[in-house]
Amino acid sequence: MKVKRPLVIVTRKLPEPTEARMRELFDVRLNESDRPLDRTTLAAALAEADVLVPTVTDRIDGSLIREAGPRLKLIANYGNGVDNIDVIAAHERGIMVTNTPGVLTEDTADMTMALILAVPRRLVEGARTLEAGEWPGWSPTWMLGHRLGGKRLGIIGMGRIGQAVARRARAFGLEIHYHNRNRVAPVTETELEATYWESLDQMLLRMDIISVNCPHTPATYHLLSARRLKLLSPSTYIVNTARGEVVDETALAALLEQGLIAGAGLDVFENEPAVNPKLLSLRNVVLLPHLGSATIEGRQEMGERVVINIKVFADGERPPNRVLPIDI
């Protein structure tokens, strides 16, 4: 179906170049205030738009999709993950879903590596000591952390981001191990010098650092459950730059508080923007406000992908970044 100037409703403020391009190409309704849409406003947008452009903060569930207006034919997600959208319900209604894959791989891998460095070396803890005026001066035994070289890094999810993390980690002398739904190609394993673990439980028992880099799907909800988190050694660190729902946050906070896990670096949380109060009070964690994709370059590229998907759809062709239920 060819639509000359579709009505495009955007749920959050996007980078200016993206919004300018949308104004040129589409009949667009922007969110100048950047305040998240409440459910009623979101339902109204779904009722009248040809194209909806949501973000990770918008929950487009089955009930909203089933009440969508007849004009809605495309949900062009501003982001890679589509766990905020009921893709199956959209598919059943004949509504196409697209995303922005690959754009944020390097940015998220950079942030993952930053946390892998920050937590064992106690960087944030040290910075806070300086800010509080509590530094007693250099001492041979004060605020010691752990070196990275020779440690075993277990990557959960060896997709684009997981592989980018592995390349960075190898440069720091980390041994690369991974668990994935499917084993990667032998050439990739050889390049990364990566060891595959079919059993996640067995990998967790033997790692020094765990990096969560898998998407959030029904199958990965609380993949790191209380039972699995208890498999980690008290000397193990955990880093999550994927989705908060992959980790049982309550169990993680309790184990960190008890000293049964050495530390954590978290850029995502189970109930964002709320953060478990126990995590906020711990000194052995580094907490970031979902900054993994927060680069100017990355956000502009995301916008470009969204515009391309909408333009191709409006021209009556299949968008390049279509997401099907089989993909999730």
Joined together, the tokens standing for residue 220 give 């990965």
Quote the CA–CA distance of 55 and 156 in Å, as a whole number.
Answer: 24
Joined together, the tokens standing for residue 54 give 């949501």
Residue 290 annotated to the active site = yes
Quote the CA–CA distance of 134 and 69 in Å, as a whole number.
Answer: 60
Burial 4-26 (b: 16+ CB within 10 A, else e): eebbbbbbbebbeebbebbeeeb
Joined together, the tokens standing for residue 68 give 């969508």
Catalytic one of 48, 189, 191, 272: 272
| Cα 132–Cα 138–Cα 139 angle in degrees, nearest 5 | 115
Quote the CA–CA distance of 126 and 278 in Å, as a whole number.
Answer: 20
Catalytic one of 12, 177, 216, 290: 290
| Cα 292–Cα 104–Cα 52 angle in degrees, nearest 5 | 100
Residue 243 annotated to the active site = yes
Catalytic one of 243, 270, 301, 305: 243
Q: Which residues contact 81 (CB under 8 A, 6 or more apart)?
A: 56, 99, 215, 216, 243
User: Catalytic residues, which ones?
Assistant: 243, 272, 290
